[in-house]
Chains A and B, each alone.
Chain A
Amino acid sequence: MNLRLFVQTLRWQRIRLLAVGLAAFGWGALIPTIYVGFSDAFREMVDSGFLPEELLSFGSGNFFSVPGALTLGLQHPLAIAFVGIFAIGATVGAVAGERERGRLEVLLARPISRRELYSTLMTAAVLLVGLIVAALLVGQIAGLALQGLIDEVQLGWMPLVFLNGLLLWSAFAAFGMAASVSFDRHQPALGVTMAFVLLNYFLEILGSLWRDVQWSQNYSLFHYFQPGEILAGKADPYDFALLGLAIAIPVIYALAVFPRRDLAAPS
């Protein structure tokens, strides 16, 4: 871990972090408002048979309870886009992008080992992801307070929700970093990482919309992000362990492969 590189990496992201963090906070705060405004109407639509319940569920979330709404807000494509800016965008460019721009060799001309470089960039990515997940959750708490729903959620479980979200997005960040150290160019690294995230998302959403293939959710990392369950006091340690494993595998791969790779001159 190189402190100077770590600080500079965060500095480069500070404006983006501020903008995305504010947007994530705003989105988080909006979720309780949407719940208060539309929950009853959604329930009526389902009860009247106008809409199947599956269509108002999203991943593990729904609009029929406060924890369900919070979960839906955290698994919504908008939330994924906010966190993905750092978990995917920043990680795939961290090595492959710098290499393509020709700046990686300027960096590696310093006495920094590749493992140190990787560890520093990965740590920065986890911190950035953590800050966005935190912004989403703080926004949700602020929204709950504004709507007078704060008592409907056991806030004591929020740190565990944060940890669960951090692990999920760190797993994707670790995958993005592994792709980044494997390719000489940014685009293939981005393509592989996007495909991985979208496949996971597809398997999760498919299982939630179509009960016959509910098993597909077991193969999605998103399925192990369960804020609703945690807030209901039913956190499953298996979810955390599995996400931890999903982080460890790409990290071990990157630490093994990156130092052994040839870094030819950028073409």
Chain B
Amino acid sequence: MHAEPMGTQQAVIATRGLTKHYGPVHALVDLTLDVRAGEIFGFLGPNGAGKSTMIRTLLGFLHPTAGSATVLGLDVTTASVEIRARTGYLPGGIALYDELSGADVLSYLNDLQGREAVRRDELCERLQMSPSVLRRKVRDYSRGMRQKIGVIQALQHDPELAILDEPTEGLDPLMQQAFYSLMDDLRAAGRTIFFSSHILSEVERICDQVAIIRAGHLMALQHVDDLLARRKRKVSLRWRGSAPDLSELPGLADVVVKGDRIEATLLGEVAGFVRAIASPSLEDLTIEPARLEEAFLEFYAGDEASEEARG
């Protein structure tokens, strides 16, 4: 699937037909997308879908087989050093220098970055990495603490673009909330975040736009709100007396009547549905919020069904 690309002038990341093959393995296939300045872009897919390949191509670790990509207006194949100078990157399952302290790791990586660590103190405070914790050797850190160091090293120099590969992996729920709040603040400050994850709830919580990838193919590229607006919702209605027949109501499916209660799936827009059922006999109405998970599963189910049909 191709979404219509926006103007590349405002795109912090722009790919056009980006393709990466490892021999017979097609890790990325004809990927075209744009990430606009100041947005949090969620890149969704299960393990092996091509998320890390995409990120590594953007950073110049991999060379595209076909197509092109620019980051901050710079070509990924010819200007990767310049791109990395203006980018913060958190690799998935980051490996650190066990023999150094947390503070030394941050200083060393920032020295190599060559920019002042203007956000380090704030990040350490928000992610609860106290000076005493930072003085300890990384080898003594828990997985969550390592992940926090990973997040801090990626953002400490206040990059224009942060590329974060599964950033909340290993963080406890409190730290996840702190991280989400941090993302909100970065967006407010005009920073761009490219965010890879397979945790749908967090993508739904913080992302503006989302791309869903499967086996290297782009399955969807939409704003989260648009994606959710078209999703199925479970609805439950309770009536005074016996329930009316709603099976003919447009946009409603899987209608099950249980006495005074009706359970169904709403496919269309909510406002029209509410108008259609408005009645003094209606005692209770519950509409479950649409979930990205359902959208995600739907894209995957659809793809699997088509593969089965082809097979």
- Give the CA-CA distance A263 to B153 in the complex, in Å: 21
Q: A103-B95, A109-B91 are contacts. A263–B62 as well, Cβ < 8 Å?
A: yes
Contact between B99 and A111, CB atoms less than 8 A apart:
no
Q: Is B82 an interface position by the 8 A CB rule?
A: yes
Which residues of the partner chain A approach B114 to less than 8 Å between Cβ atoms? 110-111
Contact between B22 and A102, CB atoms less than 8 A apart:
no
Contact bitstring B273-298, A, C-beta under 8 A = 1, else 0: 00000000000000000000000000
Contact between A111 and B62, CB atoms less than 8 A apart:
no
Give the Cβ gap from A64 to chain B, nearest Cβ, in Å.
47
Contact between B56 and A265, CB atoms less than 8 A apart:
yes
Contact between B81 and A5, CB atoms less than 8 A apart:
no
- Partner of A111 from the list B56, B81, B93 (CB cut-off 8 Å) is B81
Give the Cβ gap from A244 to chain B, nearest Cβ, in Å.
30
Contact between B109 and A105, CB atoms less than 8 A apart:
no
Contact between A265 and B63, CB atoms less than 8 A apart:
no
Q: Which of A4, A109, A263 has the most C-beta atoms of chain B within 10 angstroms of its own C-beta? A: A109
Give the Cβ gap from A107 to chain B, nearest Cβ, in Å.
7
- Partner of B95 from the list A106, A110, A264 (CB cut-off 8 Å) is A106
Contact between B81 and A106, CB atoms less than 8 A apart:
no
Contact between B61 and A106, CB atoms less than 8 A apart:
no
Chain A residue, CB-CB nearest to B111: A4
- Partner of A106 from the list B56, B80, B109 (CB cut-off 8 Å) is B109
Which residues of the partner chain A approach B95 to less than 8 Å between Cβ atoms? 101-103, 106
Chain A residue, CB-CB nearest to B62: A262
Q: Which of B82, B99, B113, B154 has the most C-beta atoms of chain A within 10 angstroms of its own C-beta? A: B113
Give the Cβ gap from B26 to chain A, nearest Cβ, in Å.
14
Q: Is B301 an interface position by the 8 A CB rule?
A: no
Which residues of the partner chain B approach A55 to less than 8 Å between Cβ atoms? none
- Partner of A260 from the list B53, B63, B81 (CB cut-off 8 Å) is B63
Chain B residue, CB-CB nearest to A12: B99
Contact between B113 and A265, CB atoms less than 8 A apart:
no
| Interfacial residues of chain A within 5-24, with CB under 8 A of chain B in the complex | 5, 8, 12
Give the Cβ gap from B156 to chain A, nearest Cβ, in Å.
12
Contact between B96 and A113, CB atoms less than 8 A apart:
no
Contact between A102 and B99, CB atoms less than 8 A apart:
no
Q: Is B94 an interface position by the 8 A CB rule?
A: yes
Contact bitstring B62-82, A, C-beta under 8 A = 1, else 0: 110000000000000000111
Chain A residue, CB-CB nearest to B153: A106
Q: A12-B99, A103-B95 are contacts. A109–B59 as well, Cβ < 8 Å?
A: yes
Contact between A4 and B108, CB atoms less than 8 A apart:
yes
Q: Is B309 an interface position by the 8 A CB rule?
A: no
Chain B residue, CB-CB nearest to A111: B85
Which residues of the partner chain A approach B92 to less than 8 Å between Cβ atoms? 265
Chain B residue, CB-CB nearest to A115: B81
Contact between B96 and A111, CB atoms less than 8 A apart:
no
Interface residues of A (CB under 8 A from B): 2, 4-5, 8, 12, 101-103, 105-113, 260, 262-265
- A-B residue pairs in contact (CB < 8 Å), sample of 20: A102-B95, A103-B95, A105-B56, A105-B89, A106-B95, A106-B109, A109-B59, A109-B87, A109-B88, A109-B89, A110-B109, A111-B84, A111-B112, A111-B114, A112-B84, A112-B112, A263-B56, A263-B61, A263-B62, A264-B22
